[in-house]
Structure 1
Amino acid sequence: MRIGMQTWGSHGDVRPFLALAEGLHAAGHDVTLVVTTIDTDAYARMAARPGLRIEAAGAPLLGPAEAQGIMEEIYQVRDPMRQAATLMRLVFAPVEDAMFEAAQRLCAQSDLVIGHFIVHPLQVAAQHAGVPYASVFLAHGSLPTVHAHPLGTFGPTVNRALWWLTRRMLNGAFNHYPDRLRRQLGMPPLRDIIDDAWVSPRLTLMAVSPQICVRQPDWPAQVHVCGFLDMPNVAVEGALPAALDAFLAAGDAPVYMTLGSWTPEQPAAQRATLALFTEAARLAGCRAIIQSPSWQDCGVVSDDRVLYVSAAPHHAIFPRCAAVVHHGGAGTTQAATLAGKPSVVIAHISEQEHWGSELRRLGIAGKVLRRRDVTAARLARRIREVLGQPEMATRAAAIGAAMRRENGVQVAVGLIEREFGRND
């Protein structure tokens, strides 16, 4: 098949689509993946090869100060719905038209299109063109079920009422985005953003490990939990710094500390984050590897207790650490869990809080910290709690071992071929 794919977001939203694109290409399909992300230039430089192309569309041109301002505005908002609406307004809306143009080109050249569930431009273009469409969820908290709700599990009656209210709020906050594009094509407005845009009528992949996400009995029949869409290290993730081996060999396993795509770029904010992590490691009495892209410009110096790195491939370094402090992004969360390590989550947005709560439910993380009010003392206390519970490390190791026996890409490719055929 000729397959078009499209995603938007951070590296954690791109990496699973790279993995699935590689899997589909290996199965003999011709694949074009269009990405829209802050780091678009890095992906645009990835070399194409016959049958697999990576393209960029609509990269927002944000300087460090503007990006930092947007991040702070988003994570200072306490209401989850307002937070999501702010994210869409500030980061998605400016590139929506460019994404829509790319989506229409994909539909014109593809037998099937596959999109991140949030990328409504592809869903609208596919429906108008009559091209089969599959959607991919990277987190399971966005799909309604009477058995759970992101705010907590309260029983079927309360969960049902919460989801009814959530649907109404989602439709009020987000329907105007796809409806604007639909009007351009003479299409009627959406009835419900979840049922009519996010969930494909043919196939929806829940790209979360079954160790974390259990398929709910009231989900639509076309929703399948395929597992984490994982892949080997890619060039944009960098290589292990040479100093790492010596640091790891010089003492106890360290705690890895990163905020991933939520690491501030502005020098002052980056220095503040480094100070937060460094002081927390000192107070916790642990060795630490602290990831920050421009640490060399922030006046810090590595020693035998703390090593600063610009980047490191998580799949290579996480298994060699005692625990991982991270922001609770879907990719980093599953990478830490895959490595069999417990987590300390510093959430910036509600989806990250949900991931942190899920890890706590599994017994492999403590209570979630929030970026807007975290302090070095609070972070150090949470690190000590995690490192001081051997049963948490044992549980994390067992879950990681089970995840490593899964193959989410293989399962996803099989589901796609079963539903849409191979066009051989």
Structure 2
Amino acid sequence: MEPFARLGEVLRTQGYAVTAAVLEDGADRMARAGVTPAVVGPVAERTMWSPSPTVRRVAHLNPGLMYLQMRRALTRHAKALAEGLAPLLLGDAVVVSGLPTARLVPLLQARGVPARLALMAPLTPHPTGTSAWSHPFTELLPRAVEVPRQRLLWWMTTGLSAALAREVARRLPGATPWSAGRATPRLGPGATRPTPGAPPTAAPTAYLPLLATSAALDASPSPGVHQVGWWADPAPVDPLPPELADHLERHPGSVLLALGSMPADRPDQLVDRLAEVARRTGRPVVMQIPGARTGARGTVFVVGEVDHRALLPRVVAVAHHGGAGTTHAATAAGLPQVVVPHLGDQAHFARQVHRAGVGPAPLRPVLATARTVADRLEQALADPAYGRRARAAAQLMASEDGLGATAQIVREMAAGAPAG
């Protein structure tokens, strides 16, 4: 949701009337960006996850189980979500969709609505280049096997929104519910744009999906996407809390530990685990752990939500879980990184950090102990090559304007749309 709040803020400042379809817990963030929130469903925890804590806990341990429980949850809420979404799609509008509503894109394009899918990770198939579906083992497979494997994963991922697309299609004139649930955003260069207002066609004509990642991390994305660059936060930088700023002043050379995905029954238990990492490195540490008790504990400072643009320039390295936002923020700050991926696209960004030379090899969660994380951090700081490559990657990111490039695409889409 955060990247779309940033896009909405930029489009609003350029004079567009921007409405964001959000779940209940996303409304405040959109409102702060000056974007009109349209709440279409309950909070994300209810909409996308099982109501059973046990099922959620087990699903976090296995990508396949996570996919099944998310698909079941989204299917259960599809009718209610469609009731809120469909009226927003009946007017004259340009639509930029995230992955949770991917199957709406071909449905809208078939009706002549200018619509694009925006991805925060390279989830599209690309066996010989950058793809979140690649893995050191599968890269050894022949292309005859790897190509259909990646296509299947792409189809399954966009299929999370299949039930929603069918329900929305039932509420849009001229749409076909059966095909809406089966069509996936089609990839490939040379796609043509539909004629606004034209009757539905038998097969949707796709714009290329937008890939909001930096070339510093994804140097070889699929030719079937349009890489625009990372959507950096356009808002003014929020200053650090005075206590944290003072702590960093008194403890130069601090390391940031933002391993928020490491399993822990309580946030303060994670603080205790990471304190051992701090002890082993012998360096001052900032721990970013939402929900934990904040404040200084000797040379360790625990903090919750802070602006990374203010914090990262004050530390010398960062260990994190590999989320798209954290990885791009650390890369933009020119910092060596250690990544311990857990879920989703985190494994992809962990590999790309290592391949870009801005950090050592990632740690699997089962191998992430206080000793191994501390050893990786010392490796990242001891080898000056990591720092040099990190600064070069930051310079490349500074030359990109992902939000500006996306806004230009929206302008081009709007130029061919009906008035309004």
Asked if the contact 2:70–2:160 (Cα under 8 Å) also holds between the matched residues in 1, the reply is: no
SS in 2 for 1:195: coil
TM-score, with structure 1 as normaliser: 0.80
Q: How many angstroms apart in 2 are the aligned matches of 1:25 and 1:233?
A: 13
What is the alpha-carbon distance in structure 2 between the residues aligned to residue 171 and residue 259 of structure 1? 30
Q: Distance in 1 between the 2:366 and 2:81 partners?
A: 31
Partners of 2:41 and 2:327 lie apart in 1 by: 27
Q: Could you report, residue by residue, the CA deviation over 1:38-94 in whole angstroms, capped at 9, with x for unpaired residues? A: x436436x3575xx41333323374999797565323311xx4x1551462366445
Q: Within 5 Å, which residues of 2 pair with 1:290-301?
A: 290-296=287-293
The alignment partner of 2:233 has SS state of coil
Query: Separation in 2 of the partners of 1:65 and 1:257?
Result: 29
1:407 aligns with 2:409: no
Whether the aligned pair in 1 keeps the contact of 2:9 and 2:33 (CA below 8 Å) is no
The structure-2 alpha-carbon separation of the partners of 1:402 and 1:17, relative to structure 1 and needing over 3 Å to count, comes to same
Identity between Structure 1 and Structure 2 (%): 24
Task: Give, in angstroms, the shift of residue 128 of structure 1.
Answer: 6.7
Work out whether 1:143 is the aligned partner of 2:124. Answer: yes
**Equivalent residues in 2 for 1:320-399 (5 A)?**
320-399=314-393
Pairs within 5 Å for 1:258-277:
258-260=258-260, 262=261, 268-277=265-274
Q: Secondary structure at the match of 1:369?
A: coil
SS at match of 1:295: coil
Equivalent of 1:314, from 291, 308, 318?
308
Unaligned runs of 5+ in 1: 1-13
Please list, as runs of the form range in 1=range in 2, the aligned pairs for 1:28-177 lying within 5 A after superposition. 28-36=15-23, 39-40=25-26, 42-43=28-29, 46-47=31-32, 49=34, 52-60=35-43, 62=45, 69=54, 72-77=57-62, 80=63, 82-83=64-65, 85-86=67-68, 88-89=70-71, 92-120=74-102, 122-123=104-105, 126-127=108-109, 129-140=111-122, 142-148=123-129, 149=131, 150-152=134-136, 158-168=142-152, 171=155, 175=159, 177=161
**Structure-2 separation of matches of 1:68 and 1:270:** 17
Following superposition, the deviation at residue 388 of structure 1 comes to 1.4
Q: Which letter does structure 2 place at the counterpart of 1:40? A: G
Cα RMSD, aligned residues only:
3.4
CA–CA distance in 2 between the matches of 1:65 and 1:208?
30
Aligned-partner Cα distance in 2 for 1:157–1:177: 30
In structure 2, relative to structure 1, the CA distance for the partners of 1:93 and 1:187 (3 Å cut) is closer
How far off its partner does 1:127 sit? 4.7
The code of the aligned residue for 1:270 comes to P
* CA shift for structure 1 position 112: 1.3
Pairwise CA distance, 1:214? 2.9
CA distance in 2, matches of 1:67, 1:337: 37
Matching residue of 2:193? none
Deviations 1:121-161 (A, max 9, x none): 64366257542211101101x11123135213877972452
Residues 36 and 99 of structure 1 are in contact (CA less than 8 Å); yes or no, is this contact kept in structure 2?
no
* Cα pair 1:74 1:349 within 8 Å, conserved: no
Which residue matches 2:257?
257
Distance apart, 1:332 and its partner CA = 1.0
- How far apart are the structure 2 equivalents of 1:174 and 1:393? 37
Aligned counterpart, 1:9: none
Note closer, same or farther for the CA distance 1:386–1:112 as it changes in structure 2 (3 Å cut).
same
Matched residue of 2:96: which SS? strand
Residue by residue over 1:249-288, the C-alpha shift from the partner in whole angstroms, topping out at 9 and shown as x without a partner, is 112221111245x477x8x432222122111111121211
Q: What's 1:17 paired with? A: 4
Distance 1:61-1:167 versus aligned 2 partners, 3 A rule? closer
**Match among 218, 224, 227 for residue 225 of structure 1:** 227
The answer on whether the counterparts of 2:255 and 2:286 sit within 8 Å (CA) in structure 1 is yes
User: TM-score, normalised to structure 2's length?
Assistant: 0.81
Aligned residue pairs total 390
Find the aligned partners of 1:227 and 1:173 in 2 and give their Cα distance: 22
Decide whether the 8 Å contact of 2:214 with 2:229 is kept in 1. yes
Check if 1:418 corresponds to 2:412.
Answer: yes
Q: How far apart, in 2, do the equivalents of 1:192 and 1:422 lie?
A: 24
Match of 1:182 in 2: 166
Amino acid at match of 2:124: L
